[in-house]
Amino acid sequence: MTTITADLNNLSTEKASPKKKVPLKGMMNNVMEQFYKAADHIDLHPNIRKILSITNNEIIVNFPVKMDNGEVEIFTGYRVQHNNALGPYKGGLRYHPTVDIDAARALAMWMTWKTSLAGLPYGGAKGGIQLDPSKYSQNELERITRRFTFALADNIGPEHDIPAPDVNTNSQTMAWIADTYMSTRPPAERTANQHVVTGKPEGSGGLEGRDRATGYGVFLNIKFWAEKNNKTLKGKKFIVQGFGNVGYWAAYFMEKEGAKLVAVQDAYGSIRSANGINVEDLYNYTKLNNGSISGFPDAFDLDNEKFFVTECDICIPAALGNQITKENASKIKANLIAEGANGPMNVEGEKILLNRGVTIIPDILCNSGGVVGSYFEWLQNRNGELWHLDEVMAKLDKKIRESFNKVFHYAEKEGMDLRTAAYCIAITRIEKAYIQRGIFP
Ligand code: GLU
């Protein structure tokens, strides 16, 4: 133990002072500010601060894909592996025009904190491709995904780095990745590699309930918060930004509990209805409307700028990063914000909200149901088991409750916001692993 601690202390702190901050943009700025705040609070060992401030590996691949018209297009794919002190890298792959190296870095860091806080044996990673999937046919998306998987090759693996769905990727994307990865292994190893990705379709190694796991986790966090504050969700008004997998399932469970969905925003527009929007009707409508909520007949159109200003009790941002900023934070009516997305608010926006007494359930806790579900799927594949939905939901409930209670009590004890508390718990667990093991060689 002494030698180990000495090793950490012997790392030079001269080259890059761990507290020195380089100006960062966008999501990177947010994740680093949040990290430094918590690191200062727990007085994180300076050398571990250095290690966690940077990413372990950054893989950028350029790869060609044949388009339906016979032309070849070159795509750029990313996989950033931030840290694996607690286990294999874990995190999603997103297909979106905003994917770049900075976004992948920030999102990979958030995964490290998320898996640590959830008590999982994983590190953090994230990646994806910079593209607008609506511009490609299903066949093209399949070839893009398979060729991306081939390009990543052994940089991913069931015991090394395990991707999952994220923005604009789904169980079908995961099925293509699993199939491509397995097909490139030696024959006798193929099926043993099924857990190279999680979030697969049921029937191809997927977990029953993984589809709803993130949204269910968001709902559970809101419910646990209400319980702690002696409130009921019955009759509470909520708004949801993003009606993809997370937004839909969060709204579904909120409605089931008696809460009322009064406004929704997606990439195409915003809608509102003071009487409440029926979640299933809206979902069915989007299926017939290219996935978009716009034009839903049982609601009014709403100007996009007016969405966050809607009168409500709870706001669930479940789309992209940096949506709540100093421009709109002071106008938000909700007194609870439950972050279904990763990094939906920036540090300036958060400061305004905290000063106004608004509670924020941070992304690394609020949307952790997804990666917890992924962990269950990974275990299921690894052990050759098949778990039932009831079992999965009960296990999710237990795991999210434990995390919520840990964060809630830490925040109360230390007199801090829930995000800083969540970070302190997550970082402390990683710090402990480094102190026990030291730095090789
Ligand atoms: N993309 C999800 C997230 O941001 C899930 C990651 C996973 O299951 O590995 O948490």
| Digit-coded pLDDT (tens) for 362-372 | 999 999 999 99
Q: Which of 74, 54, 50 minimizes the C-alpha distance to 62?
A: 74
Q: Give first-to-last CA distance, the chain, whole Å.
A: 15
Cα 119 to averaged position of ligand 1 atoms, centre (Å): 15
Atom of ligand 1 nearest to the CA of 163: 9
For 333-353, write each residue's pLDDT tens digit: 999 999 999 999 999 999 999
Q: Which of 371, 372, 379 to mutate to test the pocket of ligand 1 (most atoms within 8 A of CB)?
A: 371
**pLDDT given for residue 300 in this prediction:** 97
Q: How confident is the model at residue 297 (pLDDT cuts 50, 70, 90)?
A: very high
Cα 289 to averaged position of ligand 1 atoms, centre (Å): 27
- Is residue 320's pLDDT more than 50? yes
Q: Concatenated DSSP letters for 28-75? A: HHHHHHHHHHHHHHHT--HHHHHHHHS-SEEEEEEEEEE-TTS-EEEE
Q: How confident is the model at residue 133 (pLDDT cuts 50, 70, 90)?
A: very high
Could you give the domains of the chain?
A: 56-206 (3.40.50.10860), 213-366 (3.40.50.720)
Partners of 337 in beta bridges: 315, 360
Q: Report the chain's mean pLDDT, rounded to a whole number.
A: 94
Atom of ligand 1 nearest to the CA of 198: 8
**Poorest-confidence range of 19-23, 34-38, 125-129, 262-266?**
19-23
Beta-carbon neighbour count of residue 190 at 10 Å? 14
User: For 183-204, what is the mean pLDDT?
Assistant: 96
Q: How confident is the model at residue 135 (pLDDT cuts 50, 70, 90)?
A: very high
Q: Which of 93, 110, 162, 166 to mutate to test the pocket of ligand 1 (most atoms within 8 A of CB)?
A: 166
- Is residue 17's pLDDT more than 70? no
Beta-carbon neighbour count of residue 187 at 10 Å? 8
Q: Which of 98, 99, 53, 54 minimizes the C-alpha distance to 78?
A: 99
Amino acid identity of 98? T
For 112-130, write each residue's pLDDT tens digit: 999 999 999 999 999 999 9
- Is residue 8's pLDDT more than 80? no
For 214-255, write each residue's pLDDT tens digit: 999 999 999 999 999 999 999 999 999 999 999 999 999 999
Q: Which long-range contacts (CB under 8 A, 24 or more apart) does 424-428 make?
A: 424/38, 424/41, 424/42, 425/116, 425/117, 426/112, 426/113, 426/114, 426/116, 426/117, 426/364, 427/35, 427/38, 427/39, 427/42, 427/44, 427/52, 427/113, 427/116, 428/42
Cα 295 to averaged position of ligand 1 atoms, centre (Å): 31
- Pocket of ligand 1 from Cβ distances under 6 Å: 90-92, 114, 164, 166, 198, 342, 367, 370-371, 374
- Is residue 259's pLDDT more than 60? yes
Instruction: From the candidates 90, 114, 126, 237, give the one annotated as an active-site residue.
Output: 126
Percent above pLDDT 90 for the chain: 94
**Poorest-confidence range of 25-29, 147-151, 177-181, 197-201?**
25-29
Beta-carbon neighbour count of residue 38 at 10 Å? 22
- Is residue 162's pLDDT more than 90? yes
- Is residue 403's pLDDT more than 60? yes
**pLDDT given for residue 23 in this prediction:** 59
**pLDDT given for residue 337 in this prediction:** 98
User: For 417-439, what is the mean pLDDT?
Assistant: 97
**pLDDT given for residue 4 in this prediction:** 34
**pLDDT given for residue 15 in this prediction:** 34
And the tokens for 434? Answer: 């480094």
Peptide bond into 441 cis (omega under 30): yes
Q: What is the pTM of this model?
A: 0.94
**pLDDT given for residue 6 in this prediction:** 32
Cα 129 to averaged position of ligand 1 atoms, centre (Å): 16
Q: Which of 170, 157, 136 minimizes the C-alpha distance to 65?
A: 136
**pLDDT given for residue 265 in this prediction:** 98
- Cα–Cα distance measured from residue 185 to residue 204, given in angstroms and rounded to the nearest whole number: 17
**pLDDT given for residue 425 in this prediction:** 98
**pLDDT given for residue 78 in this prediction:** 98
Atom of ligand 1 nearest to the CA of 90: 9
Cα 378 to averaged position of ligand 1 atoms, centre (Å): 13
**pLDDT given for residue 24 in this prediction:** 67
- Is residue 273's pLDDT more than 90? yes
**pLDDT given for residue 26 in this prediction:** 85
- Is residue 22's pLDDT more than 60? no
DSSP run (H or E) holding 171: helix 171-183
**Among this protein's residues, is 114 annotated catalytic?**
no
